[in-house]
Amino acid sequence: MFLCIKSVGMPGEYVPIDYIPVIIVLFVATLIGLLPLVMGVILRPRRPYPLKLSPYESGIEPVGEPRYRFSVRFYVIAMLFVVFDVEVVFLYPWAVAFDKLGLFGFIEMMIFIFMLLVGYIYAWEKGALEWD
């Protein structure tokens, strides 16, 4: 079995053995997610008619398109999210190695955060974080 391969081989032969249980958990979770659906097919009734299958709109006939234009603010938030989430991703390895990096690493990271803060303050001033 592939479990016999230890994770200390040559660099090219690295088998992330710790992650096999993770894959098993994800597999079991998928099974638990799908099982009720499969069981449900056998158990539940199926009596559709057009009115039942129309989208819910408080009891009246659906008016207009369901996917209409939405506020551009959502888009701005998504853009800001990408920037800040990348920042968070950079912060994690830095935090793990904080003791080794010492003062130099700390100042370095503060400069990085400061540059992001400039963009953050700009976005705030421009009203990207306001909802009206």
Which residues are at the interface with other proteins (CB under 8 A)? 1, 3, 18-22, 24-26, 28-30, 32-34, 36-37, 39-40, 43-48, 50, 52-58, 62, 66-68, 70, 73-74, 77-78, 80-81, 84-85, 88, 91-92, 95-96, 98-99, 102-103, 106, 109-110, 113, 117, 120, 124, 129-132
Smallest distance from other proteins to CB 110, Å: 7
Question: What is the rounded CA–CA span in Å between residue 60 and residue 64?
Answer: 12
Smallest distance from other proteins to CB 11, Å: 18
